[in-house]
Amino acid sequence: MSLEPDVESRRKFLSRLSLGLSALAGAVVSVPIVAYLLSPLLRPAQRQWRDLGLVDNFRIGETVEVAFDEPSPLPWAGQTARTAVWLRRTGPVEFTAFGLNCSHLGCPVNWRPDAKLFLCPCHGGVYYADGSVAGGPPPHPLIQYDIQIVDGNRVQVLTRPLTFTQT
């Protein structure tokens, strides 16, 4: 028994539509995964000196958040291409730069000058002024970045990829 031509052509159409939608769904799911797996190749140069401004923009003894652009942002990064460090001027040309992100799961930490502590709002992580862990779940101190002074008056930070570990 053969199907009527209308029914058969409708079946073929629905079958092709189903295959097309399956291929589209597969692409929607796989493109971000492939992009993530290839991201180390797409962003090879993450260690770069980034300018933070003039030395005299910072007061000795103060810790301030200083924002800068990621060295090699992905084209679709948008606002996330902007990052920052906690910068402390400790002398005429001496600085310390701490990573913004908690070593637990990466939430941005806040500097509390009154308590002289970095506090993480996510799970209560606490860091001393030198970046070492004072309490809570963070397994490691805050990342510290290398700093250099160029042209005698500009502060630069050497970026590097973030790493997080769970305990």
In sign, the C-alpha dihedral spanning 46, 48, 53, 59 is positive
98: Cα separation from own chain's centroid:
14
Please give the Cα distance from 143 to 86 (Å, whole number).
10
Closer CB to ligand FES, 2 or 166, in the complex: 166
Closer CB to ligand FES, 105 or 117, in the complex: 105
* Least distance in angstroms from the C-beta of 123 to ligand FES: 3
Closer CB to ligand FES, 95 or 98, in the complex: 98
* Least distance in angstroms from the C-beta of 120 to ligand FES: 3
Q: Residue numbers of the site for ligand FES (CB under 6 A)?
A: 102, 104-105, 107, 120, 122-123, 125, 136-138
Please give the Cα distance from 129 to 161 (Å, whole number).
22
Please give the Cα distance from 158 to 167 (Å, whole number).
28
* Least distance in angstroms from the C-beta of 102 to ligand FES: 3
Closer CB to ligand FES, 95 or 127, in the complex: 127
Cβ atoms 120, 128 nearer than 8 A: no
Cβ atoms 129, 25 nearer than 8 A: no
* Least distance in angstroms from the C-beta of 64 to ligand FES: 21
